[in-house]
Chains A and B, each alone.
Chain A
Amino acid sequence: TQLLEQSPQFLSIQEGENLTVYCNSSSVFSSLQWYRQEPGEGPVLLVTVVTGGEVKKLKRLTFQFGDARKDSSLHITAAQPGDTGLYLCAGPIGSGNTGKLIFGQGTTLQVKP
């Protein structure tokens, strides 16, 4: 069974600090995705990483896919209150390219002004 474990589960930091969120599995994934979800809304896709060792940047967010494609990290530089939310990693499951996703349990980030 494929599982995605995220750490930490909760993170409360001051504005301007840096942070890293981890997403780990014992299984190999063809790709991993990162989503951000705000209260009362559905998740919104931030990035998809598909190549082992790949690094993608989205403004102050840096995403990395592990060389073995079993893990990924999200690093936020100089966090802002607007970064507050639930961050979820997800990967495809099942045979065939159906788009079905398995999600990690999420990391709740609170950035205090």
Chain B
Amino acid sequence: GAGVSQSPSNKVTEKGKDVELRCDPISGHTALYWYRQRLGQGLEFLIYFQGNSAPDKSGLPSDRFSAERTGESVSTLTIQRTQQEDSAVYLCASSLASGSQYEQYFGPGTRLTVT
């Protein structure tokens, strides 16, 4: 079946502009995670959705970052007034349910470059 998909695959934007990144999780997966990966680094947790519960936003680095999820489907990560330090690969993952016993399946990521 289809895996996690993300769009766009690459995004170049000017400093100060807003960007919207999209994630399509695997159908039936109730948990969805966003991570950020800076060049040559590991992944940094940003936000987590489980079903219709309120999202866990504890990893968002500033109030310029926000995310939404429609039910148990598509999620969008929005970065307002982008800064150069926002340049990174943004990865989305979904799992059947929340919990470390459930494997997270990652999308290919969106590479964001802020000029």
A97 in contact with B109 given A43-B43, A106-B40, A106-B41 (CB within 8 Å): no
Say whether A92 faces chain B, with CB atoms less than 8 Å apart: yes
Contact A98 B50 (CB under 8 A): yes
Answer whether residue B31 sits at the interface, using C-beta atoms and an 8 A cutoff.
yes
* B65 interface residue per 8 A CB criterion: no
Q: B residues within 8 A CB of A40? A: 108-109
The DSSP consensus for interface residues of chain A is: loop
Q: Does A93 sit at the interface, judged by CB under 8 A?
A: yes
Interface residues of B in 58-115 (CB under 8 A from A): 58-59, 91, 93, 95, 98-109
Q: Tell me whether B42 and A100 are in contact (CB under 8 A).
A: no
In the complex, A100 Cα to B105 Cα: how many Å? 13
Could you say which of B4, B33, B40, B107 contacts A99, with CB atoms under 8 Å apart? B33
